[in-house]
Chains A and B, each alone.
Chain A
Amino acid sequence: MYVAVKGGEAAIDNAHRLLAEVRRGDPAVPDLTVAQIREQMALLVDRVMAEGSLNDPDLAALALKQARGDVVEAVFLVRAFRTTLPRFGASVPLETGRMTLSRRISATFKDLPGGQVLGPTFDYTHRLVDFGLAEGEQLEPAAEAEPREDAAATPRVTDLLGRDGLIEPSPQDDGTPLGDITREPVDFPCDRSTRLQALARGDEGFILALGYSTQRGYGRTHPFVGEVRVGTVAVEFVPEELGFPVLLGTMQVTECQMVNQFKGSREVPPQFTRGYGLVFGQSERKAMAMALVDRALRASELGEPLASPAQDQEFVLAHCDSLQATGFVEHLKLPHYVDFQAELELVRRMRAEAEDKREAAE
């Protein structure tokens, strides 16, 4: 139970003024601009957009500045901002197959039609701290090469396997309306679309840990990375007054197709199953972990025993949101004086009763 407490107004105002000053840090150091954060802390901005569930790099960068770099606080600001805006509608589904790629790799096929491109990746770096960066080192310009002719035709790995019937097809669009976890509370069990929405905005650390747990045996799915691709996709929307799709612009996304252990039955020949991850910005870690957890959450659909946390819809979905989690954990610091007073009284009484009993026994 919460009981309102009064007072502290001046202290709160002063705490906020102090926060503003501390956020700014040493005034002798130049103030960060939003553009600097957007350009140079791009992966952090991407994370805030993914978990804030709002693609708007400038807004996410500003939120990070205001939040002193705290991701969850920045997510809170972004989520609060979005509640002030009207929704015009839903986009045409993104055509990730027509993505302008900046990176595309496969761990299953080395000779992929369209080829593999590494793009800007940390992979293969030596993870040695570059002290030159601290000195504001000059950059060597990126190398260039003529794109190969097939670079624009990049079928998904799952399409290649699908042609031979070696992998299950994607669930068909049967036209049933989409649930939306930002509008209606989630009922369990929920469908895969709803789960993917929750995972796409879920806390990266939590999803990563769950994905990892499936690799360590808690709901094993024998995954292979069919493909990870990063790039920009067109976002199209059909305004009612126009009746045809207009291009809103392009945005960066990361997609992961996980190819998982095969199964078969009397009706279905053995084939690979799939897990899917799609996330705003560039985050292979999040997209891959999401694909692992998506596949694990399909356990009951695929007739697998439900034994591990990553397979438990309610456990995963009810706990994957960083904002909900922080809200409930951090609310514990709000005044619980009356609650605690009651508990204190109870403990005192129980102790007194126990004391009385012991004395009576002696």
Chain B
Amino acid sequence: MAVTDQGSQTQARRAVMALCAAATGQELATALAGLAAPGAEDIRAPEIGLVMATGRIGGDGRPFNLGEVSVTRAAVRLADGRTGFAYHLGRDRARARRAAILDALWQGEADRPGVEEALAPVARRAAADAAAQARRTAATRVDFLTLARGED
């Protein structure tokens, strides 16, 4: 049972981290501002680096290196010892640090609902953006007709 709990907790944490990755720096600042977040110490100062993005031959075969993506990472510790991490595409150090603080806060059971609540607007905005995009794409859906060539 413990293993399952561990697994579902990791899934929930991944979902929150993914939400932070989808958020703008301003959205994360707003989320943090509503949480009265305590001070945080950098375990590893926010840093810009690279991750080699890999694809798969044929989409599903042996991997190959597609090219790199720029990534910013941050690692923080709160005064009570909770640690948080963030890895984001792009080069926004402040944004990654905010996400790391949110990840650290989320580690505490008591803060968890608050963090999820604070990020709910981001989830709603991202879902609305995705739906609008899907509707615009759907309008370009095409049904090609094959014209008879005269053989029959």
Contacts and interface: CB of A to CB of B under 8 A. Distances in A.
Is any CB of A less than 8 Å from a CB of B in the complex?
yes
Interface of A: 49-50, 53-56, 58-59, 82, 85-94, 96-97, 100-103, 110-111, 115-120, 142-148, 151, 156, 158-159, 169-174, 178, 180-182, 192-194, 196-197, 200-201, 235, 237, 239, 241-242, 244-251, 253, 255, 257, 274, 276, 278-280
Contacts of A194: 64
A248 B69 contact: yes
Contacts of B63: 93, 173, 178, 193
Nearest to B43: A241
Interface of B: 10, 14, 17-18, 21-22, 47-71, 73, 75, 85, 87-91, 130, 132-146
B51 A93 contact: no
Nearest to B13: A244
Given A87-B51, A169-B61, A118 B56 contact: no
Contacts of A235: 51, 53, 69, 89
B57 A170 contact: yes
Given A86-B49, A87-B50, A88-B49, A178 B87 contact: no
Given A56-B69, A171-B62, A100 B130 contact: yes
A118 B142 contact: yes
B73 to A, nearest CB: 7
A173 B141 contact: no
Nearest to B92: A58
A201 B53 CA distance: 13
Given A90-B52, A142-B139, A55 B67 contact: yes
A182 B66 CA distance: 11
A187 B69 CA distance: 25
Nearest to A89: B51
A201 to B, nearest CB: 6
B90 A56 contact: yes
Nearest to B140: A118
Nearest to A99: B59
B88 A249 contact: yes
A92 to B, nearest CB: 8
A170 B60 contact: yes
A88 B71 contact: yes
Contacts of B54: 90-94, 178
B85 to A, nearest CB: 6
A246 B17 contact: yes
A136 B89 CA distance: 33
A200 B73 CA distance: 26
B4 to A, nearest CB: 15
Given A87-B52, A88-B50, A193-B64, A247 B137 contact: no
A165 to B, nearest CB: 15
A280 B50 contact: no
B52 A280 contact: no
B52 A89 contact: yes
A117 B59 contact: no
B58 to A, nearest CB: 3
Given A88-B73, A173-B61, A251-B89, A115 B52 contact: no
B68 A147 contact: no
B50 A54 contact: yes
Contacts of B75: 241
B141 A116 contact: yes
A93 B55 contact: yes
Given A193-B64, A247-B18, A248-B69, A170 B136 contact: no
Contacts of B59: 96-97, 156, 158, 170, 255, 257, 276, 278
